[in-house]
Amino acid sequence: MQQTLDKEQADIPDDFGNHDYSPYRFFSAEEWAHFRADTPLTLTADEVRRLRSLNDPVDLDEVRRIYLSLSRLLSAHVESSQILFEQRKRFLSLSDEAKTPFVIGIAGSVAVGKSTTARILAELLSRWPSSPKVDLVTTDGFLYPNAVLQRLGLMERKGFPESYDMGALLRFLSAIKAGKPNVPSPTYSHLSYDIQPNTFRSVDRPDILIFEGINVLQSRNLPEDGKIVPMVSDFFDFSIYIHAEEDLIHNWYVQRFMRLRDTAFRNPDSYFHRYAAISETEALEIAEHLWRDINLKNLRRNILPTRPRADLILQKGENHLVSTVALRKL
């Protein structure tokens, strides 16, 4: 029965293959590049190299092709939001209410390039002529500490929805959208692979907040009694999903793991330092295990199903560069 169900599901057209009935408009990277119009390129090649993640080949040409148009689109959305805010303020006869941050959510699998996209966008948006204050926060800081995950038996499900302190995450976004000053954001160390205890950074009323994480578009079960149950995406003004085929993400994940083995893992303070001394064959086996038994399961069960909830989808090809852009119709 399960085999039959899987076959039936496989025959259902993907959003990217059934454009006639899709809620999205689709553009090739070349078509999308034209929408940048006269948007100035404010980044240098050296800055892009600094902003991109390990094993991510994004360069200045990719910024021109994809990110300048995206910056221009987001500028239009922010401007429209500000106009609507002023209209609503007049409608409600409010005089002292300040506009709350415009929040952009960025979702997608591990190793797909979310961090690079988030950092490049943050830099581009902060360099608009209006010089908006832009902040970037990732969901890593809202993971439960490793000690808690170990006690709950969730270390093998780190990154799954249940491994996050959802209450803290929602309180943070609620405070941001309420316009509160100096909202504390917990910090995470990729070196120690854990939350940094009692360490916070302050997010002080930015004009734009980019909120990046694998499960930020995740929905949740609704109560039968109609009580308000907020979702992370309820706080977003615009959302982006970065997509690539499963086998490509698999390759990128393994390649990144092997490169980290020769770089960051060699630091004695690294949580993964033990992987630096093993053979290449053993390292490959571990990388494949981590992908197959943790990250692939999370992608299939929790991350990919949220893709249709995004306002914009960036589809990447074999070279890790964007090949197709899907923008939700209005």
The domain spans of the chain are 24-218+227-328
Per-residue pLDDT band at 233 (split at 50, 70, 90): very high
Whole-angstrom Cα Rg for the chain: 21
Does residue 91 carry a pLDDT above 50? yes
Reported confidence tier of residue 17, pLDDT bands at 50, 70, 90: low
CB of 33 closer than 8 Å to CB of 64:
yes
Q: Structure pTM?
A: 0.92
Question: Residue 102 pLDDT more than 90?
Answer: yes
pLDDT top residue among 225 and 316: 316
Average pLDDT score over residue span 168-178 = 96
What per-residue confidence (pLDDT) applies to 268? 93
Instruction: Tell me what the mean pLDDT of segment 199-227 comes to.
Output: 90
Q: Is the pLDDT of residue 1 over 70?
A: no
Backbone angles phi, psi at 35, to 5 degrees: -75, -5
Six token digits for residue 41: 């390129």
**Identity of the residue numbered 243:** H
The pLDDT value recorded for residue 230 is: 87
φ/ψ of residue 61, rounded to 5: -65, -40
Q: Angle between the 114-126 and 68-91 helix axes, to the nearest 10 degrees? A: 60
The answer, yes or no, to whether residue 79 has pLDDT greater than 70, is yes
Q: Compute CA distances 52 → 2, 56, 65, 177, 292, whole Å.
A: 41, 6, 16, 29, 26
- Among 49, 149, 65, 40, residue whose Cα is nearest residue 323: 65
Whether residue 31 has pLDDT greater than 70: yes
Measured CA to CA in angstroms, residue 87 lies from 84, 93, 205, 235 at distances of 5, 10, 21, 20
Q: In CATH, what is the architecture of 24-218+227-328?
A: 3-Layer(aba) Sandwich (3.40)
pLDDT band at 5; cut points 50, 70, 90:
very low
